[in-house]
Structure 1
Amino acid sequence: MIRFHKEGYKIIVITFIITIVGVLLADNLIDITWLVKAIQVLLLAFLVIVLQFFRNPKRVAPLNDNVLVAPVDGKVVVIEEVEEPEYFKGKRLQVSIFMSPINVHVTRYAMSGVVKYSKYHPGKYLVAWHPKASTENERTTVVVNNTAFGDVLYRQIAGALAKRIVNYAKVGDTAVQGADAGFIKFGSRVDLFLPLGTKLNVSLNDKVKGGVQIIAEK
């Protein structure tokens, strides 16, 4: 059975109503058969796109403190040592995962632990792969701590199409590996900032599956 994310319920209902009304109106008000069919196909296609965008497949995380799972579905587009200026103010290993419009857009906790930091930043809507997207785009920054990895930061980043970031993490919350941590409507990317020396199980251009695929370990 297909599951849908709660962030999409309202949009799905509205789109469904518009589709049904549009299909019926086209059939009753337009006499050109090919035009009626074209309009109906386009409306139904749009409904399918909305449904697939908000799908929320059930995932079973390993629940292992010594591993990190991918926080989202997508493609690994950055692996590099960088200066993280907001929280760590020092060197970290950055792993960035880009979500295309056809990916599942649920953000999941990469590890279990306690949420130590959670902050929303308004900003621009540069394309997700822009070098300054991580620091200038609309984004949320969340830090989760556990005994194995210490502090791990993940950042949800809006892009040219993503106009709303939903973040459920609050300071003091208990994070459960693989659990729902938020949603990026019309997707973009998520950056992870890991301790230097973290052993990665992914490479550039790998496609990863959020909530289940192990991307790093102690």
Structure 2
Amino acid sequence: MFAREGYVIIAIACMAGALLAGGGLWLGGVLGAVGVLLGVGAVAFTLYFFRDPERTPPPGAEGLLLSPADGTVVEVVEGEEEPLYLKGEATRVSIFLSPLNVHVNRTPAAGQIEYERYVPGDYLVAWHPKASTKNERSELGLRHDATGTKVLFKQIAGAVARRIVYHLREGDRVTAGERFGIVKFGSRMDVLVPPSAELHVEEGQRVRGGESVLGELVAAEEPPADERRDGETGLEEAARDGTSLQTTAPEPAEAPADDSTARSVS
């Protein structure tokens, strides 16, 4: 099976390969053999690059954070500020895809897409520390169904990969490990999660998109009910909790007796 995003390139490679191979056979000799090898090699590499193998998410994938791509984990960075979608402290996992890896990208968790943006940019090498913020990229924010946790994932172009393709829009619902796009010819993917997520991945680890588990998504702990927010009044606390405060009106004073009715009749 091949990625649909590569059909046009595969067709072009096959035609070019056929011309090279045909010309080589016509020429004959050493030069002809080189032409045949180049033609066959171009077709073989293109088919290999755009391969799209089936992947089976692990049991319980609904509560897990899966790798969105095949490749090698090059960075796991904690305490990074994320102002786009998580809007707070985050842990970033960066995965480098070499030209030999499967380049079909998959959603890292089950949920609804709440944020989507394409950003034109530079083409630094994919493992460069600033590639995440400087390079051409897509930025996709997902709210996890089971825990409400926000997950931000990015397709990042590299020095060779200069074509990002994705098929997600705000409001789309996705399952964990679902195909959603591709970055052509070498790239990188970043996944950012809040500190509440329990990650089980480390730098240097090789991962497979839609199958390898990066960690578990855990809902952030709620503050104790008896701890009010700073400066919050009783009325504000009640309004936040969906309750109302009962106030007791002072009892009216007893009206003085009317002389005309209170006087005894003699």
Q: Pick the aligned partner of 1:23 from 18, 21, 24.
A: 21
8 Å CA contact 1:69–1:178 kept in 2: the answer is yes
1:29-178 equivalence runs, <5 A: 30-31=27-28, 33-62=29-58, 64-81=61-78, 82-146=80-144, 147-148=146-147, 150-178=149-177
1:149 Cα deviation (Å)?
5.4
How many residue pairs get matched? 214
Provide the secondary structure at the position in 2 that maps to 1:7.
helix
Please tell me the root mean square deviation across aligned C-alpha atoms, in Å. 1.3
Alignment pair present for 1:189 and 2:188: yes
Alignment pair present for 1:198 and 2:197: yes
**Greater share of strand residues, 1 or 2?**
1
Letter in 2 for 1:78: E
Work out the CA distance in 2 between the residues paired with 1:177 and 1:135: 25
Letter in 1 for 2:71: G
Give aligned-pair identity as a percent: 41
Structure with max Cα Rg:
2
Question: Unpaired segments of 5 or more residues in structure 1?
Answer: none
Letter in 1 for 2:66: V
Work out the CA distance in 1 between the residues paired with 2:148 and 2:113: 13
Provide the secondary structure at the position in 2 that maps to 1:98.
strand
Q: Encode CA deviations 1:41-100: one digit per residue, 9 max, x unaligned.
A: 122112111111100000111362211111000000010121123223321000010000
8 Å CA contact 1:117–1:143 kept in 2: the answer is yes
Poorly superposed stretches of 4+, deviation over 6 Å: none
8 Å CA contact 1:4–1:56 kept in 2: the answer is yes
Letter in 1 for 2:82: E
Query: Which residue is equivalent to 2:260?
Result: none
Going from structure 1 to structure 2, the CA distance change for 1:188 and 1:203 (only over 3 Å counts) comes to same
Work out the CA distance in 2 between the residues paired with 1:204 and 1:125: 23
1:138 Cα deviation (Å)?
0.4
Provide the secondary structure at the position in 1 that maps to 2:155.
strand
1:110 Cα deviation (Å)?
0.7
* Length-normalised TM-score, structure 2: 0.78
Work out the CA distance in 2 between the residues paired with 1:148 and 1:187: 33
Query: Which residue is equivalent to 2:10?
Result: 12
8 Å CA contact 1:149–1:195 kept in 2: the answer is no
Question: Unpaired segments of 5 or more residues in structure 2?
Answer: 218-266
Work out the CA distance in 2 between the residues paired with 1:148 and 1:49: 42
8 Å CA contact 1:65–1:148 kept in 2: the answer is no
